[in-house]
Every structure is written in C-alpha cells, then in structure tokens.
Structure 1
Amino acid sequence: MGRFVSENPLVLLIGACEVGFWVLLGAGLVARYVLRARRLSTVLLVLVPVLDVVLVTASLVDVANGSPPGLTHGLAAVYLGFTVAFGHSMVRWADGRFAHRFAGGPPPPRPPRYGAAKVAYEWKEWGKMLLAWAISLGVIAVTALVAGTGIPAPPDWFTDPMWSWGARLAPVVGIWFVGWPLWTTLAPPRAPVGSR
C-alpha cells in the first residue's frame, strides 16, 4: 500500500481533499453556530469547492507533465463528479443539523416517504448520481485530451485504467435507476391507513 501511494501522490491529494472537505465544513459550521462568526463561516464554506479546483488542476498538471493517465486520474475525476453533484446537499444536510443542535433551528426535514413527493425525491437523488457520472466522464475526457491519449471507444473503457472508472459507475447508475426512481414511480409507497 505504501509503495502504491508513493508512486501515485495524487492518491494522497484525493485523501487530503476528502479530509479537507469535512474539516472545512465542520469548521465553517462551528464558526457559524457556535462562535457566531458568520463572516468566517462564509469564508470557510466558500473554500470547500476550492478543494475540487485544486484536485482537478493537480490531476491535469500531472498528465500535462508527462504522467500517463491512469487509475488515480480516473479516481480524481470521480471524486470531483461526486463532490460537485452531492456536495451542496451534504452541506445543506450538515447545516440543518448544526442549526437545530446549536442555534435552536427547526428539526431538519426528513425525506418524503410516500406518494408523489417520494417519487420526485427519488428522481432528484438519481439525477444527482447521473450528474456525478456525467461530470466524472467529462473530467476523464478532458484529462485524456490534455494527456494526448484521446477518448477510447466505450468497449475499451473496461481495460483502460482511467476510463474504467466510467465503466464501473455505469452499473451503479443503472441499479440506482431501477431500484429507486423507476420502482418508486411504478409502485409509489402509500401511507399506512390512519397515519398522518
């Protein structure tokens, strides 16, 4: 493991960005709700997406300097895709809980469990997954273009170290689609009789 990390320093940067995301988010929320330093909180929370810019820049600089695009560049693209697609809702989720716990805010809303609201919720969440996949593929494509390797045909995605990340996410997108938005649309859960 140590050798893999030493040969792929981008892995360390991905780990640092993940830790940095939670540190900046936590520090921003503590500054807002515990210290009551709203300006500091805003600065800390604005720095969260800067981590994504640092990561994608480092990945592109790495391949521009001659490193062959590989597994870690694909992982960096996937990380970016997921933080862009899901990051805002994660920040909102954490913010609601902090506001409730430390600032007397209302209890955070729960996801809908029944009917049309549940169906809409599942489609929205799956849309985030689809967006994460699209962003990941877009960043992988840009990385391939910067590296000068071009974009392989989809069957070759499975054998290419970087493009295989896009191939790995395809079944996740499909399973999520069938198991949640499609299933919920075809058989929307109904509230039990007598429940409010």
Structure 2
Amino acid sequence: MNWIIWLIIACEIGFWVFILLGLSFRYLLKKEKLGFIFLALTPVVDLILLIAATFDLYSGTPATKAHALAAIYIGISVGFGKSMIRWADEHFQYYITKTGPKPVKLYGLQFAKQNLKSWGRHLLSYLIGASLIGIIYYFINDYERTKALIQVLAIWSLVLIIDLLISLSYFVFPRQPGKPTI
C-alpha cells in the first residue's frame, strides 16, 4: 500500500486524537488553554500531509489516487473541520462530562436546511481539494503522470452532484421523527 495512504490514516487518527485531547483537557482536567492548544493543532495535521504529498510528487513520483485522496482529505478537513470539532464538543459535553444539553436531532425543514448547509461545506471542500489537484496537475504538466488525479476528481464531482440531489430531496421529502434518512 502506498505510504501516502498510511499517512492519510495517521493524519485522520491524529486529527481525532488532538480533538479528544483538547476536549479532555478543557472539560475533564479544567485546563482550557491547554485544551485550546490541542484543538488549534488540528490544522497542523493537514499541513504535514500537504508537505509530505508535495515532497513525494516533487521528487518525481507519479501522482496516484492516494495523492488525490490527500487533496480530498485536506479539502474535507478545512471544509468540515470546524463543524466536526463543534459536533465532538457537543457530544463530549453531553455523553462524557454530562454537563451539556442533549444534542438535538433535526426534522422537517430544519433538517433540510442543515443538510443543504452541509452540502455547502462539501462544495467548499471540493473547491479546496480540486484546487490542490489542479495545482498539482499544472506544476507536473504531464497528463500521464497525473491522470489518476483527474479520474478521482471526476468521481468526486459526481459524488458532489449526488450529495446535492440528496440534500434537495429533503425539502421535497422531509425527514420525519423515527424514520431513517438516506
């Protein structure tokens, strides 16, 4: 398996470890500043991945699907990072420290609006990831060495459209209590 895949896995684990450490220091140990420092370190994980993937490509390695996944990971981390931390914070307070309110489940129009907002984050993630792929493509300037990136971007484009259609469907078929969603 390509070492970039292992690095992506390590970065994802690192992202959640920093979040858990940050929330644990903030709420369990009452060290708010130290908790904030750990939460603020989550973007460092993305920076490590970006530097490693750039170095790998710069050294002459042909771009692979793993490099495209690195760009996608960075895009998603930037697009969804803040909301993922907010989600983790909310659930940590309720389920671990028993100090926060129970996380609210949304239904009907509220759920549809939240889903469309999430699609907006997906679009932002896509724009960031696609830009990174475009930059790589531009600098390598060799279709044969970068075709895996373009193939992955085409699939992600389709996923983005499907996600939009699903998000819009909740305005037509609102989520009801007790019924599963797509």
Rounded to whole Å, the distance in 2 between the matches of 1:142 and 1:91 is 28
**Superposition deviation, residue 167 in structure 1:** 1.0
Gaps of 5+ in 2: 178-182
Mapped partners of 2:140, 2:7: distance in 1: 19
Q: Equivalents in 2 of 1:160, 1:97: separation in Å?
A: 41
If the length of structure 1 is used for normalisation, what is the TM-score? 0.81
Cα gap change, 1:189 to 1:90, in 2 (>3 Å) = closer
- The equivalent residue for 1:194 is none
Aligned ranges 1:37-52 → 2 under 5 Å: 37-52=31-46
**Larger gyration radius, structure 1 or structure 2:** 1
C-alpha distance in 2 between matches for 1:177 and 1:148: 32
Say whether 1:170 aligns with 2:157.
yes
**2:107, 2:174 within 8 Å by CA — same for their partners in 1?**
no
Whether 1:135 and 2:116 are equivalent positions in the alignment is no
Match among 166, 170, 173 for residue 184 of structure 1: 170
Q: Deviations over 1:18-63 (max 9, x none)?
A: 1101111111111111111111111111111111111112111221
Residue of structure 1 equivalent to 2:29: 35
Q: 1:91 aligns with which of 76, 85, 88?
A: 85
Secondary structure of 2:148 counterpart: coil
Amino acid aligned to 1:119: A
CA contact (8 A) 2:63 2:149 kept: yes
Name the CA distance, whole Å, in 1 between partners of 2:79 and 2:68.
17
Q: Which amino acid aligns with 1:164?
A: Q
| Partner Cα distance (1:47, 1:55) in 2 | 13
CA distance in 1, matches of 2:138, 2:55: 12
RMSD: 2.3
CA displacement at 1:108 relative to structure 2: 2.3
Instruction: Please state how far the C-alpha of 1:162 moved relative to its aligned partner.
Output: 1.6
Q: Match for residue 146 of structure 1? A: 139
Residue 160 (structure 1) aligned to one of 147, 163, 169: 147
* Pairwise CA distance, 1:161: 0.9
Query: Contact conserved, 1:10 with 1:59, CA < 8 A, in 2?
Result: yes
- CA–CA separation in structure 2 for the residues paired with 1:147 and 1:190: 49
Quote the sequence identity (%). Answer: 33
Q: Is 1:104 equivalent to 2:99 in the alignment?
A: yes
Q: Distance in 1 between matches of 2:3 and 2:116?
A: 37
Secondary structure at the aligned position of 1:163 is classed as: helix
